[in-house]
Amino acid sequence: MSADPRPTTRGPLALIAGGGDYPLQLARSLTGSGERPYIAALEGATDPAAFGAEADVATYRLGQLGGLLDELRRRGIADIVMLGALPRPSFGALRPEVSTLKYLPHFAKAFQGGDDHLLRGVVRFFETQGFRVHGPAEIAPGMAAPQGALGRRQASPEQRAALERGFSLLDALSPFDVGQAAILADHRVVAIEAAEGTDAMIRRVADLVARGRLKIGKGDGFLVKSPKAGQDLRVDMPAIGPDTLRNIAEAGLSGIGLRAGAVLVGDRATLGQQADALRLFVEGFP
Amino acid sequence: MSADPRPTTRGPLALIAGGGDYPLQLARSLTGSGERPYIAALEGATDPAAFGAEADVATYRLGQLGGLLDELRRRGIADIVMLGALPRPSFGALRPEVSTLKYLPHFAKAFQGGDDHLLRGVVRFFETQGFRVHGPAEIAPGMAAPQGALGRRQASPEQRAALERGFSLLDALSPFDVGQAAILADHRVVAIEAAEGTDAMIRRVADLVARGRLKIGKGDGFLVKSPKAGQDLRVDMPAIGPDTLRNIAEAGLSGIGLRAGAVLVGDRATLGQQADALRLFVEGFP
């Protein structure tokens, strides 16, 4: 194959695709560079038709892991990338087919812990089965936050100082396996994300402003987002998207600081245009 | 005066009383040990009649600071304790009387910063005027969390390990002037308090559980609360009360870990009984 211009040691690729727009963007990026990945669309999470008529796509339930591995081996595929939201686990989706049963003991331990533990277990499983797991940013570097601004606006030196404080806060939280995002405003930290997720945290700040509990001046108010130390960016990369920018603008905040190369932003040009339209800066920092 | 059995170098005391039950409890504690403090009840925050017919109480607007200082000096009072929620600032309450005008420059700087900065400014102001500011836990040690359990229940060794992790998290947040409380459940940190306050953070966790986003097993789920490093416990002491316990129980959590001596709990016996009735542990740690 491969008119792929990027230096790579990998062979043909399988994309295990969950929900959301990012698996579609990743597939387009690969197609754009002349690859035709084998796409395993997870049933209930993504529509296989969305990958286009030309795509080499099949649908799998989670319980069909055995069948998927058999198919990958038959095709000589040893390189995998996984991206997108998993389907809500249902007994139907999990019901293992016969070829999957033998793999279940591998997962018994992985399920006895938090999300990180589970994801690390999944990577380890594929590796013990002889596959290489690649991160989406490694396969399509253009989908990760670059260094610098996505649109026309840039953080001022003062705003940048607040963002640096935010990144330091996220670093300090890292050992506690929490805190991929925080919001700074009014010269202080006003929200820290834990189990509720980034969008709920942004709405909370909007609500504090609406109830007069928090004042955000013009040019004030920033989201910072960064992976935790040791987070496996191959299977668990933080991400922002058009909804994030819309929520940030609705909350009256001014911008977003991202750890460059470590947060998915999808299509940079589109997001940069949206940032300009909403008068936000969206900027990656080393 | 003073059948006060506690060794003290202080003279007669003024209590500057804001809203809530704690100023009333502090006044009762002083009366119980034979003191009769001069109570300056802040208008719009507390009802002077609530201190009882025997109390030596007068009402002041915030703008009557000058009059209050004159009265304290007239009475030979140099020792002050401040406790309770401030009234929502209104132009009416702030309107300075003539004797207050000369003090305004002292506050101009204090208002240009966060809450901590303001509170430190208030303490410094009273000190420059020749007053000593005492913390509520110094005046009434029984109102602070003791070491050990308030009721019959105690954290198990496993629960205690989770609480220690929570205290470490709060310590790590300290340099960022944020994070007096967090909630741990399901072997991870599920919520961190910032501008929203403790009660809103507890409701957020209850909401995640109600929407199936978070599972809390029996005996799982803990609030930890602790002051920030360098927090001035004389004017800014973290506090829990009956509402906190009720919210914790309603969220399906199992207990509360407090930094002993550094978090106000009000009447220990009452709170211990409530903890027993709600099947919670409420425990202070060194």
The chain B residue lying nearest A204, using CA atoms, is B196
B88: confidence class by pLDDT, cuts 50, 70, 90: low
Query: DSSP string covering B18-55, please?
Result: -BSSHHHHHHHHHHHTT---EEEEETTT--GGGG-TT-
Residue ranges of B 155-174 with Cβ closer than 8 A to chain A: 165, 168-169, 172-173
pLDDT tens for A233-271 read 888 889 999 999 999 999 999 999 999 999 999 999 999
- What distance in Å separates the CA atoms of residue A94 and residue A99, rounded to the nearest whole number? 13
pLDDT, tens digit, for every residue of A82-104? 998 876 666 566 677 777 777 77
Q: Say what the pLDDT of residue B242 is.
A: 94
Prediction ipTM score: 0.83
pLDDT at A114: 54
DSSP state letter for A146: P
Report chain A residues whose CB lies below 8 A from the CB of B182. 194
Chain A: residue nearest B214 by CA? A195
Shortest Cα distance from A80 to chain B (angstroms)? 29
**Average pLDDT, integer, range A174-180:** 86
Cβ-count burial B266-281 (b if 16+ within 10 Å, e if not): bbbeebbebbbebebb
**Residue A171's closest chain B neighbor by CA?**
B172
What is residue A110's predicted lDDT score, i.e. its pLDDT? 56
Cβ neighbours of B214 in A, within 8 Å: 195
Q: Tell me the per-residue pLDDT of A120-156, one tens digit each, with 9 for 90 and over.
A: 778 888 999 999 999 999 999 999 999 999 999 999 9
pTM (2 d.p.): 0.86
B203 touches chain A (CB under 8 A): no
pLDDT of residue B107: 66
pLDDT at position A123: 86
User: Coil, helix or strand for A121?
Assistant: helix
Q: Tell me, what's the pLDDT at A138?
A: 93
Residue of A176, A191, A195 with shortest CB distance to B194? A191
Nearest to B202 by CA among B220, B222, B227, B175: B222
Which range among B11-15, B59-63, B117-121 shows the weakest confidence by mean pLDDT?
B117-121
**Summary mean pLDDT of chain A:** 88
Q: Report residue A117's pLDDT band, with 50, 70 and 90 as the boundaries.
A: low
pLDDT at A88: 62
Q: How far apart are alpha carbons A78 and A127 in whole angstroms?
A: 10
Domain A144-285: CATH class, spelled out:
alpha beta
Beta-carbon separation of B190 and A195 below 8 A = yes
Helices (H), chain A: 22-32, 65-74, 91-94, 98-101, 104-110, 115-128, 136-139, 157-173, 198-210, 242-250, 268-277
Cα B24–chain centre separation = 13
- pLDDT score at B66: 87
> What average pLDDT does range B277-285 have in this prediction?
97
Q: Which of A163, A194, A178, A189 is nearest to A286 (CA)?
A: A163
pLDDT at A92: 64
Please tell me the total number of residues recorded for chain B in this structure. 286
For residue A111, the model assigns a pLDDT of 56
* Cα–Cα distance, A68 to A100 (Å, whole number): 9
Instruction: Round the average pLDDT of chain B to a whole number and report it.
Output: 88
**Contacting B residues, span 67-86, partner chain A, CB-CB under 8 Å:** none
**Is the CB of A195 less than 8 angstroms away from the CB of B177?**
no
Confidence (pLDDT) at B127: 92
Q: Name the phi and psi angles at B145, rounded to 5.
A: -60, 130
Does the beta-carbon distance from A165 to B187 stay under 8 Å? no
Q: Where are the domains of chain B?
A: 13-139, 144-285
Instruction: Identify which of A173, A194, A208 has the shortest CB distance to residue B196.
Output: A208
Q: Which residues contact A134 (CB under 8 A, 6 or more apart)?
A: A10, A13, A79, A80, A81, A234
**Closest chain B residue by Cα to residue A195:** B190
- Given this model, what pLDDT does residue A122 score? 80
CATH class of residue range A13-139:
alpha beta
Phi-psi region of A281 (alpha: psi -120 to 50; beta: other; left: phi over 0): beta
* The token pair that represents B64 in the structure block: 């009557």
Residue B106 in this model has a pLDDT that exceeds 70: no
Q: Which residue from A minimizes the CA distance to B195?
A: A190
**Minimal CA separation from B44 to chain A, in Å:** 19
Q: Is A196 on the interface with B (CB under 8 A)?
A: yes
Residue A71: is its pLDDT beyond 70?
yes
Task: Tell me the percentage of chain B whose pLDDT exceeds 90.
Answer: 69
Query: Between chains, do B205 and A187 touch, taking CB under 8 Å as contact?
Result: no
A162 to chain B: closest CA residue: B176
Looking at residue B186, its pLDDT comes to 87
* Mean pLDDT to the nearest integer, B176-186: 90
What's the token pair of residue B279?
Answer: 């099947």
Q: Report yes or no: B194 at the A interface, CB cutoff 8 Å.
A: yes
What is the average per-residue pLDDT within A170-189? 91
Q: In what side-by-side order are the strands of the sheet with B38-42? A: B56-60, B38-42, B13-17, B79-83, B132-134
